[in-house]
Structure formats: structure tokens, C-alpha cells
A and B are shown apart, each in its own frame.
Chain A
Amino acid sequence: MKENYLQGNINCDRELLSEIINKYDMIYVISTAHWLCHSFIEYIYMHNINKSLLFILNVEAVNAAENNGFDVVYWEEETVNELLKTYYMYEFSHKIRVLTIPEQYGSLDNYLLNGLLTEEEYFKALLC
């Protein structure tokens, strides 16, 4: 994988990406089972979030049927990785949010873990 991108092979589907960026207000990418993925999606399901949201996952983490105002798609790991490769190359849209516990920088998860934010405040921040 590392050798692949070091040689500059970038295969993200630009047309598809452009299409989803135009269609949705926010796009969440979850490449591994984030510890709060279920709770976040449940929060959105229970509240009337006035935004169109897309969740891109590569694991079967949620029931995709009948979601309340948001869409969920399952992409193969390789496809998600190509998207992330482009995301970590530059910011091509402010609508992309990658849900992960980063090792290289701080994140909202820190505020939640040390009690500065409640779970609800954390979810609200993720939706900003």
C-alpha cells in the first residue's frame, strides 16, 4: 500500500467524489469501527438534523435501511483507502469529516474522554 502511493498511483473516482460533494452537506468517512460510530448515527436518527448527510463505511456498522434523513453507503476497503489517500493529500472539500482516533494530532475525542464535552456536545460539534 505504502509503495503504491509513494509511486503516485491515485485512483480515486473524481466524478463520484464530485457528485457526492455537490449532493450532501456533510460526508463522514469511517474506515474502521470508530468507538462512537453507532451512538453518533443513533443520535442523528433520533434528532431532526437539518442537513443532508452521507456516511461512507467499509464495515457493516449500521442498519442502512430507513435512515432518517441521512444516507449510508458501504465501500470496499480499497475504495475507502483511495478516498482517504486523496483526503490526506489535500483538503478538496470542507464537507469531508473522517471519524478516527488520530495518533498524529488532537481531536474532539480528547474533549469527550477528559470530560470537557458531554456525548451530546461532542455529536453537535461533529455536525458543525
Chain B
Amino acid sequence: MDKFHYEEMSESIAAIEKDNILNGKVIYTFGHCNATEELIDLLKEHGYQVFAIMDNNVSKQGTYYNDIPIIPPDVILREKIPTIVLIVARAYEAMAAQLRNLGYKGEIKKLVEYNSFSEYSLSADTIKRKYERVQRGMSMLEKLKNKYQYCFRFLCPFSALGDVFYAMSYLPYFLEKRNIKKYVVCVVGKGCYDVVKMFGHKSVENLAQNNMDEIIQAELYTNDNQSFILHHDRPYVINLNKALYTKMIPLEVMCRSGIYGLPQDTIPCKPTHLQVYPKLDELKKGKSLIVSPYAKSVTNIPMSYWECVIAEYKQKGYDIFTSAVGTEKTLQGTKRIEVPLAEMQSVVEYAGAFIGLRSGLCDVIKYANCNKTALYPDRCYSDTKWKMKEIYYLDGWDNIVIEQE
């Protein structure tokens, strides 16, 4: 979960604590994902224990997160004591609708606004608010058009490094296909901005998430054909992810063939504007290991695994560095290293080895010339039957699945 949404989640919990909403209730969550795990951990810090995680994915049911069982949603109906369902997953509206359709009458609380596109209501008030949202979007869109006159607009709706990396890898072919000469790439967050710059694109606009959402909605509402949305499942109008219920399609292929409609043999472009980390001499050349234990889209792997890796490499005489940003913790027994994205490839190549939880950072250093290992939890992608490793597989890497404890 990114910092912005984590803070929003923390504020939501503080608000429901203040209103005593959780007292005397059995707490359930819905949708097992990285965000839900962070919610559970945060609730524990506040002295609350989650009873169970509901999930529609049959392959996840019967497994556990920190002794908390993952169960089918209808199990909550058997509860005799008052319950509350806390949701931080993206598909809040669909989850709430499912619970109500099952006959669940207890409280359902959305703790994070991940998806301002959706509200399952046709009340006059909802339509009025949503139209006002579109108006705000149209106003921001006009400003964007004035700033980048006669430019085609590419919109990366989600703050995910990997999504943006793949989008940029195939963008040149799309520019040629559509004969686009002048364009701007709009992203959310500095990290995604830096990824776009790594590919040499000159016009890049960094938007706040809510502004991006509203601009996208305005683009859809006005059917403006001078824009293109670069994502496989956001917003709701995009149906590419439906294919995953019948066929395994890796993320890169979703981008190349699904988003852009490019042939299967299209070769991705590599970043052209990488830089060299100025403090490489702080690393032991060829005998350093960079570890990256954090990811937004995949759930964590046991800390014991990292402890084993660190011990093993130390015994081999390696210096070990944790690649971390902001409030991310440095793993015990390692040194912290914070590297701009464009310089990361130089660091891992100099170091000689990289081991990371599968994340967008792995995509950023995809082509680095070093020993590269991507770690995957033994989980399925979203509510599909495909494993994370299948969807996010990286060619030229060791792709290793770590069993949950």
C-alpha cells in the first residue's frame, strides 16, 4: 500500500475507534491482498484482532495469514455475535454488494478510497455528485490541454512502477501505429514519473491520484479521442482482466497485446536514459547483495526467509544492502541504500546480486547484468486461479516461490 493510502487507512481506523464502532463486534475483512494484511497488522497495533479474511478465491480459502483463516464470504452469515466488515481492497462496491446479496445485515466499512469511479447507487444525490466530479475532471482536463497544446494524452491511472514500465516499453510502437507526433504522458507519483523519464520521454505530467481519476472520467465522458488510458483493469470500462478467468496471460502480454493491440512478436524497448549512482564505491564490487523486501501488489513473504538469505550471503563474505525508501525498514544485519530509480541498474550491476520480492522495482532493473532473483508468495493473482509467479514471471531471472509458514 502506498504512503497516501496507508495514511488514509490510519485516519479511518482512528475515526472508527473514536466512534467506538469496533467495540463488542467480531471483525472480518474482505479480500486477501497486501493492503488487507497491512490493515490487519495496523489493527493489531491498536489492540484489535481480525477474526477472519473473506475471499472469493477458492484457492486461497483454507489458508492463513498470521493464524487468521481465509474463508468463503458466506461463512459470516453463521456468526451469532454482532460483526463488522472492514474493507481496504479495491473492489469495495462489488464486495459490499455481494455481502448484501448474501443477506449480510451487519456493518460494512470502506477504509480507503481506492476507486472513486464506482458507487453502486442511482440516487439523485449520487448522480449529482458524480456529475460534479466529471465537471471537476473537465476543468482539469482543459488546463492540461492548455499546458500541452496539440498533444495526445497518455494516462497511466495507477501509481505502479511495473505497469508504467511495461507501458513505456511498448509505447513507441503505438505512437507509430497511430501516427502520434506530439504527446504527454501523465502519471501518478514521482516514482512513475522517473520511470517514464528513463525511457526518454520529454513531456511528463505528475498528477495526484484523485486528479488523475477525475481527468480520466472526464476523458471517458467526453469521449475525447486525443487520449489513451494505459492500464489493463483501471478504470471499470476496461475488460482486459476478464480474459484471466479463461486463460493465463502474463502482465507484460496484457500490456503489449491487450492495451496496445500489438502483435505477439513485438520486442519491448529498453530504457535509454539511465544514470550511474555516484556512490558506487560504498559497495563491494561484485560481492554485494541488494535486497528489496517490499512490494505493493504482492503479499509479503516470511521474515525468516530474509534472515536465512542474509546469513547465507554474509557467510560468503558479501556486504548486504536493503533497498528502501521513506518509512520502509532496513532489514537487520544490512545497511540501508536509497537509490533513485534511474540509477538502480548501475547499483545492482556493480553489486553483482539482487534478491527482491516481486515488485515494480524488479521491472525497473529487468535488464540489469547481474544475478537477479525475484521472489513470489505462494498465492494466486487477484481472484484468478493463476499463481503470482505465472502472471509476473521475469525472463532471465531466477523466479522463486516462497511457501507461507
Q: In the bound complex, how far is the Cα of B232 from the Cα of A92, in angstroms?
A: 20
| Chain A contacts for B249, CB-based, 8 A | 111, 116
Contact A111–B117 (Cβ < 8 Å) = no
| Contact assessment for A107 and B238 in the assembled complex, using a CB-CB cutoff below 8 Å | yes
Q: Is the CB of A92 within 8 A of B119?
A: yes
Which residue of A has the minimal Cβ distance to B135?
A8
B residues 126-162 touching A (CB-CB < 8 Å): 126-127, 130-131, 133-135, 138
Partner of B247, one of A88, A121, A126: A121
A47 to nearest B CB, angstroms?
Answer: 14
Q: Are A2 and B222 also in contact (CB < 8 A) when A14-B127, A89-B130, A92-B120 are? A: yes
CB distance from B268 to the nearest CB of A (A): 16
Cβ contacts A54-95/B at 8 Å (1 or 0 each): 000000000000000000000000000000011111111110
Residues of A within 8 A of B221 (CB): 5, 85, 88-89
Q: With a CB–CB cut-off of 8 A, which chain B residues contact A18?
A: 122
Residues of B within 8 A of A6 (CB): 138, 222
User: Given the complex of chains A and B, what is the CA–CA distance between A89 and B130 in angstroms?
Assistant: 7
CB distance from A99 to the nearest CB of B (A): 10
Q: Which of B123, B235, B243, B246 makes the CB contact (< 8 A) with A91? A: B235
Q: How many A-B residue pairs have CB under 8 A?
A: 137
Determine the interface band of chain B, counting residues with CB < 8 A from chain A.
35 or more
Considering residues A108, A114, A126, which has the most beta carbons from chain B within 10 angstroms of its beta carbon?
A: A114
Closest A residue to B116 by CB, please name it: A90
Residues of B contacting A106 in the complex (Cβ-Cβ under 8 angstroms)? 232, 238, 240, 258-261
CB distance from A49 to the nearest CB of B (A): 14
In angstroms, how far is the closest chain B Cβ from the Cβ of A7? 10
- Please give 8 more A-B residue pairs, beta carbons under 8 A apart, in addition to A105-B238, A125-B247: A88-B221, A89-B130, A89-B221, A102-B237, A110-B258, A114-B257, A121-B243, A121-B246
By a beta-carbon cutoff of 8 Å, the part of chain B in contact with chain A is 93-94, 97, 117-124, 126-127, 130-131, 133-135, 138, 217, 219-225, 227-229, 231-232, 235-240, 242-243, 245-247, 249, 253, 257-264
A interface with B by C-beta (< 8 Å): 2, 5-6, 8, 10, 12, 14, 17-18, 21, 85-94, 97-98, 102-108, 110-111, 113-117, 121-122, 124-126, 128
Q: List 20 A-B contacts (CB under 8 A).
A: A2-B222, A89-B130, A90-B118, A91-B118, A92-B119, A94-B118, A102-B237, A104-B219, A104-B220, A105-B237, A106-B238, A106-B261, A107-B240, A108-B239, A110-B258, A111-B249, A114-B263, A117-B246, A125-B246, A128-B242
